[in-house]
Structure 1
Amino acid sequence: MKRWKRLAVGAAALAVATSGCGMGGSSGSGGDQGGDKTLTVWLMDGSAPKGFTDELHKEFEGQHPGVKVKYEVQLWKGIQDKLVTALASNNPPDVIELGNTQTARFSAENTLTDLTGSAKDLAGDQWLSGLKESATWDGKQYAMPFYAANRTVIYRKDLFEKAGVTKTPTSREEWLDAIRKVKAANAGDPEFEALYLPGQSWYVWLSFLWDEGGEVTRQDGKNFKAAVDSPEAKAAVEYYKQLVDTAGTKAAKDQDEATPQQYEVFAKGKTAMMVALPWEHANAVKANPQLKEVTAAFPIPSKEAGRTAPVFLGGSNVAIPAGSKRQDLAKDYLKLLSSVKYQNKIAKDGGAVPGTSKDVSALASDPVAGPMALAAQHGRVTPTTPKWGPVEAGQNPLKDMLTAALTGQKTPADAVRDANAKIGQALGG
């Protein structure tokens, strides 16, 4: 459960500085201790089960006699400021975990080691393309993917069966048809919702945008320019509106999936579907254990039958601070972490999509994680620029765009045009 709570923070939310200070131990690598070399590793709270790290560190120390791993678990709250301080010091940790949208900032500030020449040793040919993109800056690799999670459609198998929906949707039209059937089968219950979809679930909208062939931004050298004012973005807004209208969802049109937490709504048992992360499903089951046996997932469908829509990959990368005095040891640590053995353990023990292995067979039999892993093969990330964080964290233009279109305040065309202008301004013109 901790892993999914950690992912709930959302890698994108980590792109902006937060107040406070992380609490995970001292910030230095400590140098030699008692004549032994010490490798300081910072991983985030909930990222790796204790059994995983115990085995990893025992094997690493066995491969490097005289070396001790000083493992420190950090809290997400305040980690941005703590990393800024640590990476600017003369004694930073040797290996750090980063949210995948934090990586661009620290790469651009030259505080991370260039791993381009080491990518082959770190299973670079097996990296998921979306995660590789998040670890890339100015054509170079500054981090290694760790793991990820993405949204799927969590659904009630029993309610699908009751409505005569015999297979999970494999296209947008089939999804709409399933919504209509499930809605009709429960028409006598005024509290029932075929699909719970808040108006500002913009990560869900990204799937439709990318499925249409559109982009949020387009890169021009090292600069990024807004690209939301497009026919593809307009079509994505129109389909989002069609989903909301067809479902007749009671979710607020001016809030996202966290207000209220959508898993709390799903746990009440009056909802057939929600587009959610695995941790949200886990929390719904925790609140209502009866859901465990009747829920499963399917990938967000594409407009092209038989395909899955691209999805936003939230997750983490691992990197080596440029100031680390244990560069070779740190690279050996990443090499072991990226091995098939430990990537399989990430999937098996934690239920997450492994970052440096396209083999997701360990998740195949899981009714929720299996579809997630399938969809992750077409995963994407938000623009890899330090300027993107404030776009999300402030008065997010994409949220405002969706609310305006859903409430009729603006046409979809006007909504995407205005969002494009605001994003362009935030990115610098």
Structure 2
Amino acid sequence: MLRRKWIVAAVGAAAVSMVAAGCGGGSSSGSGDNKTLTVWLMTGSAPDATVAAIDKDFEAANPGVKVKYEVQQWNGIGQKLTTALTGTSGGPDVIELGNTQVAQYSSQGTLADVTDSVNDLNGSQWLSALKDEGAWQGKQYGIPFYAANRVVIYRTDLFQQAGISAPPTSDDEWLADLTKLKALPNIDPLYQPGQNWYEWLSFLWDQGGDLATNSGGTWKSAINSPAGKAAFDFYKKLVDTSGTSAPKDADEATPQQSDVVAKGNTASFIGFGYELAAVEKANPALKGKFAAFPIPSKTAGQTAPVFLGGSDLAIPANSKNADLAKAWLKIETSAKYQSQLAAAGVVPGTSTDTSALNSTETGKAMAAGAKNGKGTPTTPKWAAVEADNPIKAALTAYLTGQKSLDQAVADADAAINKTLSAS
């Protein structure tokens, strides 16, 4: 799941024609019987102009139907969703879910099965990672909305001062560049908090490993493996090589890494484009001094897989307007509106065209990395794993020397299995 604010203003809305015949019945024939379609999207999830244009096109194609668009807050949304999804009437017809939440609600039977409508909803263009996380037991419940992934954001002036003429194209080059940057006085080569576990995921996947495996519906942790240990080891190499000033017992939000980078003494950090915007807002003198590159792979010339955090859209199982909801989603998933999401700075969930992201350095790097995007295990129990994340604790224990590599990984593995096996 990705919680973010739109930093870049949305492009102007444009009309999109809708062929409603592919979306089933409902009022697509032109008779809406004065119905209301209620759409819940999360705060910061879509530019207002884009949503307004989607609603306008939908209402034009469905006379008599009005869209009731309601913006929801992330804080407390879990209980509000549970109440709405288990009620008998008056709830939303389209909802937004963080991509790691879909399995939880799908397993509870509170979301509508849209498997038969995938093609009508532009399914051939769906972002594979969000599509996978929107599926449950072979059926599709979530429709990809948008995603974003971390990239390495760096100061071009400091890289040049260190004699680095181009971004690294492998892990070895990355470590070598950090060594060069370390020679610059009073500069943190890479701000690398000890618990940025989403970044660690890239290293795990790049080694050919995974978080967990599923055998007959039973999930088990897979991090106590050569790939898992290699990921921990490379994370430690980044920390040790850069000599980072970041805390080893906290993630990138404690303190907010954009606040640290804005002080002007950091050569690079791993994060999102909106974090760079926050840096430049806090310190305008740094504007224009940054570029970005995808997280490198151990294999020269490739990029590491990245965690795609974002959202899926879904139709509650108790919606009385499922066909109308699909008609709205058909417009939202069209290339025209997906391109507007890309222009606003995120990876569109239902489009292979990410060219609009190339307008910024961070967007260009994000688009390149997203091609190799992945998600967390599609089990409703994974949310509980993240709630008390043992991988974070293991990273700190290993980085500080409290535990050996083998012990830190084994303990995290056992803790994950305990949560996954809980009844």
- Identify whether the pair has TM-score above 0.5, normalized to the shorter chain: yes
Tell me the residue number matched to 2:373. Answer: 379
Question: Is the contact made by 2:6 and 2:47 (CA closer than 8 Å) also made in structure 1?
Answer: no
Alpha-carbon offset, residue 4 of structure 1: 3.2
Query: In 1, Cα distance between the equivalents of 2:3 and 2:257?
Result: 18
User: Structure 1 CA distance, aligned partners of 2:271 and 2:309?
Assistant: 12
Q: Counterparts of 1:67 and 1:135 in 2: how far apart (Å)? A: 28
Correspondence for 1:16: none
Find out whether 1:424 has 2:417 as its counterpart.
yes
Q: Which residue of 1 aligns with 2:356?
A: 362
Q: Per-residue deviation at 1:279? A: 2.0
Say yes or no: does 1:202 pair with 2:197. yes
Counterpart residue number, 2:338: 343
Name 1:403's counterpart in structure 2: 396
Name the counterpart of 1:250.
245
Deviation at 1:35, TM superposition (A): 5.1
Looking at structure 2, the residues matched to 296 and 116 of structure 1 have their Cα atoms a distance apart, in angstroms, of: 41
Residues 55-106 of structure 1: CA deviation (Å, up to 9, x unaligned)? 1111111111111111111111111100000000112211000111110011
RMSD over aligned Cα, in angstroms?
A: 1.5
Corresponding residue of 1:213: 208
Q: Which residue of 2 aligns with 1:268?
A: 263
Offset, 1:6: 7.4
> 8 Å contact 2:102–2:312 — kept in the other structure?
yes
Residue 312 (1) aligns with residue 307 (2)? yes
The corresponding residue for 2:4 is 4
Residues 3 and 279, structure 1, Cα contact 8 Å, conserved in 2: no
What SS does the aligned partner of 1:364 have? helix
The answer to whether the 8 Å contact 1:194/1:272 transfers is yes
Partners of 1:341 and 1:6 in 2: CA distance: 19
Confirm or deny that 1:162 pairs with 2:169: no
Q: Distance in 1 between matches of 2:131 and 2:52?
A: 27
Task: Identify which of 50, 53, 56 aligns with 1:52.
Answer: 50
Partner-residue secondary structure (3-state), 2:310: strand
State how 1:173-192 maps to structure 2 within 5 Å.
173-184=172-183, 186=184, 188-189=185-186, 192=187
Percentage of identical aligned residues: 57
1:390 CA displacement: 1.4
Amino acid at match of 2:391: L
Q: Could you say what secondary structure the match of 2:285 adopts?
A: helix
> Take 2:156 and 2:77, find their aligned partners in 1: how far apart are those partners?
40
**Consecutive aligned runs of 4 or more in structure 1 exceeding 4 Å deviation:** none
In 2, Cα distance between the equivalents of 1:377 and 1:124?
17
C-alpha displacement of 1:308? 0.7
TM-score (norm 2): 0.91
Deviation, structure 1 residue 227: 0.8
Q: Is contact 2:50-2:340 (8 Å) kept? A: yes
> Which runs of 5 or more structure 2 residues have no equivalent in the other structure?
8-31
Aligned to 2:142: 143
SS at match of 2:198: helix
2:121 is equivalent to residue 128 of structure 1: no
1:36 corresponding residue in structure 2: 34
> Matched residues in 2 for 1:281 and 1:233: separation?
30
TM-score of the pair, normalised by structure 1? 0.90
Deviates more, 1:205-214 or 1:280-289: 280-289
- Structure 1 gap ranges (5+): 8-33
Residue identity opposite 2:156 in structure 1: K
- SS in structure 2 opposite 1:48? coil
Cα deviation digits, residues 306-359 of structure 1 (max 9, x gap): 1110111111100000111111110111111100001001111x2110001111
Q: 1: distance between equivalents of 2:387 and 2:3?
A: 23
CA distance in 2, matches of 1:316, 1:390: 18
Q: Distance in 2 between matches of 1:220 and 1:364?
A: 40
Question: What corresponds to 1:83 in structure 2?
Answer: 81
Count of aligned positions: 396
CA contact (8 A) 1:128 1:355 kept: yes
CA contact (8 A) 1:94 1:326 kept: yes
